[in-house]
Chains A and B, each alone.
Chain A
């Protein structure tokens, strides 16, 4: 369990990082918290020729509040997000989601940018980013660009971030005070990578009909990206009743389309002695994930509803 030889460059600024990424060639990758990359390197599943260590770019470690958004620097640790008063006040859904990331020891090290860049199936930030329409600020040799979630996530373990680019910031819109939210996962054990993850937000009109409802799911799309549920829009304008939720549950089951074959293809890779190893933690059947998608979506919406009504326990 030792990595192949690699070069190592420690950088102090975003510009230095970009320069290093360009200088050391295609097989150069960024290391931030290292909570996935180090393991993959030790298993020889990942064999980068050069690591650019961005832990020295301390000005990428921040959480800031603007008028209608919070901005999180890409090097911010999960634990910092989890403990942040700004996040708690303005985007409690994100805070709730972060508590689901692995164990606190891992959250102390892992970074928001690293998790998003890796895009492993079901990962919490991606699901929240999709449900809230977060934006991703990416820096490269030609300056900065801003991507939506739809543009950012490409496929299993793949994003639109180019080899010579670095994520610098993620912008989450604030949740309004009247927004209910819920985040749920099915995991085989405490802190483990989810089989399915779900985030929901809900707003009600004064007459208790649904003003807005959003649901995003992790690990259910055949492309391996966080998935924004379409059929939830049917709630809008209608009262939040069991009957309509039952209908929605059914529709979500039909809407989502997990592809175990695509997952398996992305999920296996050669390691030591050319023995195949797995990168994806839970390859469950499509049937199960459809079922879980539906259950978690409804529960997350119900949780959001109870929050609005003050009945959430």
Chain B
């Protein structure tokens, strides 16, 4: 079936939601309250379109397509309608873009430049509402910037079913709030910051740190647990700042995480900013150590298939006994995104046939003289008496060691991992070279 949108033919199925058809075909349709995974609510009225044969403009998020539908989004009439709606949305907005963290990725800003461009008609003072309200779970609320699209409210009522947020008051005075004595408290709370189309909800962790237009994005996969949620790494590697990665954002994947991330995963970007500051060993010293008879290696189950494969062949060539142990935390998982297995690629370990028997590892560890640790957390800060320990690490190590090599983390080394459901996914490196070599390159050098 075909319909006409702004005189261009668009392919779709009878009964599809008009706004979804338009978004799928990359047609511009301004909207606040509609969100792919929260659905339509119809409260913001921003997605008004003109439909031939209908007297009044209709909202695209509540219009289902049918044969011979003719839609206009650009007629003078509909432009005027959108301008008026936007004026209403912005009526009590403080227009504080200069100090707002959402600036640059704010729908109000975008739409004002597209459809607004009016002078204020306001003759009475603006309604004052609450500023910098700490809702809990790292989320800050500015009620004056809110357009009342209720994405955040619907997230807590429909998705997490924790119901912390709601709209209180009415008319000019309505605002998003938590009930007195309550706070936003659930392990997915920070999603509301990302869902918010404007600057009303900002993250305590990110606010006032970066202008979003200075950030670059790379497609990646969260390494926090075995779910493999799709993310964007937002980074800005400036010369004199220790902090390079500034946030993780959810990257929509309908099969895994939809548009959401857990707070643990979202904040796990901090690990990527941990620096190693000490001298690094020479490869030839490691060659020397490899002459020893009893050698054991433990590889992190969060490493990519490419890294695991390189480690596996390295161990085979040098007759090193290789193990990998999963990071299990019985208290971490839940019924949604979080899994008890906190290793990103344990299914990859299984696929490559790496030994993960804990008892056998314990026995071998006692006998070994040389222990090579490929970034496994279990050995990272553990003292191993009377053994020569070699670390390949992405971050600082506190315990004593014989040799240490620093390797690039997953923001600087692309690869493939397999998630808990057996889905194979690629992640990509940021555009900046790492100061540290890739593990695969170091092992190549050792051949």
Partners in one complex: no
Binding site for A on B (CB under 8 A): none
